[in-house]
Structure 1
Amino acid sequence: MPNYLAISEQHGVARGTLKNHFEQRTRAPQQAHANQQILSPLEERALVDWAIWNAAFGRPFDKNTARHRVYIMTSGAKKPGQKWFNKFLARHNTELKLCRAYGLDPKRAENFTKEAVLTHFRNLAYIINKYNIPPENWYNSDEKGVQMGGGRNSDPRKFIFSKADLRKYRLKSDNLELVTIIETTCADGTDCINPCFIGQPGDYGEWFHPNFPNGDRIGL
């Protein structure tokens, strides 16, 4: 049997509090008030895992979606309000965060998988080794899309993500007028290829000059 008096004096904790915790007479607030909550601890755990899983696949929950999921889980018997949502995030603030999302095209999400990336680099290593290609013949291209004029306003809603998720993507299909910029570099840095702009046919206006100072040029 522990000496509650000595321990309480050493750590500055009430003796009754120590004894109650040691003898498991007290419970965490969430457990103690489980019968007053909309979801049981196990159901709430499932909701957290569900939110993290959906966010990982580009389908994060906003507050209305999360509340509707609770409504479904309780078979329509309970409908949580805004206060419940705020307290839900506070209870799980070590795992969840509420923030804006970045739009991600569904087609890109479908093809950008771990297996696709591994397959690409396996094939690349195979070709390089098979034909003994030196680094000065390795080229890599990248593209960047730039929106031309106006367009839709960004979505003001915030979504639930795992705290470990740095991407914060949400699947979003946009039909916007874009110009694609393609840049190509050599692995050893010795060759510089002019960037290329790809856009819809037509006149880009006087603001667009294909020639730049110092002899730099771009392709159209």
Structure 2
Amino acid sequence: MANRLLADRETPPVGKRWASNFVKRHKELKTHFPRKYDYQRAKCEDPTIIRNWFRLVANVIAKYGIRPDEIYNFDETGFMMGVIASGMVVTGAERRGRPKSVQPGNREWITVIQAINAEGQAIPPFIIGAGQYHLAHWYRESNLPGDWAIATSPNGWTDNEIGLEWLKHFDRCTTKQSKNRYRLLILDGHQSHHSVDFERYCKANKIITLCIPPHSPHLLQPLDVGCFGLLKKAYGREIEHLIRCSVTHISKTEFLPAFYTAYQATMTEKNIKAAFRGAGLAPLDPESVISKLDVQLRTPTPVEEVVSPSTPWVSKTPKTILEADSQLEYLERRIKRHKSSSPESILEALRSSKGTKIVMHKVALLEARVQDFEQANKILSRRRRAKRTRLQKGGVMTVEEGRQVIDQTDVDAQAVAGPSRSGGQGGPTRMKERRCGACGKTGHNARTCQIVVAMSMEEYSD
């Protein structure tokens, strides 16, 4: 642009560093790397399309008298079990290049189907793992709530059949709350959300589905706006913690507890309400979404730095580490001004205090390290003792149902083992008493047998 203007005046073009120098001269400007943006997504970010979407939502809510706790959004997201989250690390100033973070690297796929409502409530998740059979240790070794559901598929992805099973799971979890009222289910255009059986079940159970405009989940779908990103980052941190604990392979046995911890930390009422608010659905506010699309050029107002007057620190009994540091600085200043007598005793007290703080910090770090090793040992022990007992081929099971099947299997195994232990003769057989190998009597063995010792002494005397 600058060269075009200069060409009209028949002047030489600008230099190589003209653009960077121009930005430096204007404090209101800043350089950024542009973000790649698909044309189809940009084309769908039309204010007219978005306003029509919110008009449709408002009409459906008014027509069926739907309350905020009956407005649901559901979607699926995927996890590669052994991949950690990207983040920033602190390194030495002399290091060059990007540092490397070690990760387990297991790229087995897990799909999670989640639903939330505008009142900040989350429906128990629906977890889909790759495989044919439900294994007992998924349910026995995990700390998952009993109403969570687990399904299997050949590749860990969802399909029309699993989508229908999730819909039944959603209906079971929300029927009591809705009390035979209509529920609004906002979803995207995935094919499993629009199968004939899916639509038929929704119609039969007073579930109204609304499909958001294509290529717009990042703007209009609450789960994409404010939940799934946080959930994946939290899960990545859990896997990063496991790799620090020397757990180098992530299987479903480790995935389920790690995902549960991340889920508890992120799928909170506050985050869910913020997600609906960010998508403009609760309360209905189309402009909150449309305003993100408009780029308005303006001259920024210079920010005036407010210098707060520094108040001198008043000596008092420290209650935090910051107050303790301030107390030490205060004492050091007093010592430097002290001239009437030797401050050696006070300096010794300061050195002792600093040494104590160093030791306490080291102890805290060692305790954290011990906890990490204990957790790693617990995880590895759980993996070693896990038996690949098959509970069911395919289908869907809640965690509670899986535990009931395990308990029933244990009861059946004990019933079968009972007659074999009794010897099949109508009663339990008594164990044979152990006898000494030398004299045949009970109560001792050949090594401690006194009769053998006595006999050997008589033979020696002869």
Give the number of the structure whose residues are more often helix, by fraction: 2
Same fold (TM over 0.5): no
TM-score, length of structure 2 as denominator length: 0.21
- Structure number with greater Rg is 2
TM-score, length of structure 1 as denominator length: 0.39
